[in-house]
Amino acid sequence: MSVTPVFGHDGVCAMSLQTEKCEAGQSFFDSERAASMLLPPLNALKAFEAAVRLGGFTPAASELGVSPAAVSMQVKNAEAFLGKTLFHRLNNRLLLTDAGRTYYPAISEALTAISTVTENLIETEARSGLAVSTIQSLAENWVAPAISRFREAFPGTGIELRIEADPVDLLNTRTDLRITYESHLYPQHTQLPLFKDVAHPFCTQAFYDSHVAGSGIAAVPDALLIHTDWGEQYASHPTWANWFRAAGLARNPNMRKGLRVGGAAVALELARQGAGIALVPKMLAEAKHPASLGVVVGEPGLPLPYAYFAIVPHSAAHQTGAAEKNVPLQVFLEELIPKDAPEETH
């Protein structure tokens, strides 16, 4: 059997299926071909694949944008279609049966292949740029300087920089890279730890000379301390109370008298303007203008509890060698790591 392109009078290409024997009225697909295309519903396959890969119906539901009950129903549809049980359901645990273990690798590979070729077809032209997503506090003080350095090496590569709060739907927004603090909101994607930062007091040289020199930070009044609100999702973060305790100083500053701001980037900018002294991540502060603040005031530094991460979407990470082959993305990742960052990030 062979397939040969045939062009009609209107210039449209059709496909001529040539066989040794072709009777009038014979269907394009013979019975053998039809049997080989026996397929369960696509949604059932997607639910099964996600449940296995993510380890349960609940995380699968989160990725697919449906309820856990809907995922369970779709898996049951697949089982009914196959006449096989794919999972052992033990209380709140799911264990693959022999049939499930046999079925999963082929289904996972097939869905990945379908997703990849679909993405390639949707792209009407090859995209040479990168779509980068990050949070506000990282955008100006860390990511922007990295972009500037990256553009020197790849002046023809465009970058779309999006400022977005966590979590971000990386697949539906066609994001190439997410840069954020901590990674627990992206369990289904590839997580690349970049580095851990340490919070230090920062101020301008003029502020240091007027309020810190001679007497130290202990003499700085509460009204000139800049406090950073890291958000409700973070229970453990650097505070001035923690810093004074680590420095062996019996002081619990009154936050209501100082400046309270929503984010390290704003705290850093206020310190740059001479409004006070801020407790901010050191590498984040130095990434933009290494000498802009002028003074790192005193020890100790307070290690941030989590690392900064680069998140690579699942669809891209599961393409064989995708990260290594994408030279601009690899170079951009390297630019994100400060030169003096410690090797250990955990």
* Residue 18, in any domain of the structure: no
Note whether 86 and 217 are same-domain residues. no
Q: What pLDDT shows up at residue 342? A: 55
What distance separates the 2 farthest-apart alpha carbons in the chain?
A: 101
As a whole number of angstroms, the distance between CA 87 and CA 214 comes to 69
Q: What pLDDT shows up at residue 36? A: 65
* Residue 343, in any domain of the structure: no
Positions of the chain with pLDDT under 50: 1-29, 31, 34, 124-126, 318-325, 346
Note whether 289 and 332 are same-domain residues. no
Note whether 190 and 99 are same-domain residues. no
For residue 240, the domain's CATH number is 3.40.190.10
The total number of structural domains that make up the chain? 3
H-run or E-run covering 203: strand 198-203
ω before 201 within 30° of 0 (cis)?
no
Note whether 161 and 252 are same-domain residues. no
Q: What pLDDT shows up at residue 19? A: 37
* Residue 19, in any domain of the structure: no
Q: Is the pTM of this model over 0.85?
A: no
Q: What pLDDT shows up at residue 173? A: 87
Segment 200-231, tens digit of pLDDT: 999 988 999 999 988 889 999 999 999 998 76
Note whether 104 and 252 are same-domain residues. no
Segment 6-48, tens digit of pLDDT: 333 333 333 333 333 444 444 444 545 545 678 899 999 999 9
Sequence-distant (≥ 6) Cβ neighbours of residue 194 within 8 angstroms: 179, 307, 308, 309, 310, 333, 336, 337, 341, 345
Range of the domain at 67: 42-122
Q: What pLDDT shows up at residue 236? A: 72
Note whether 191 and 317 are same-domain residues. yes
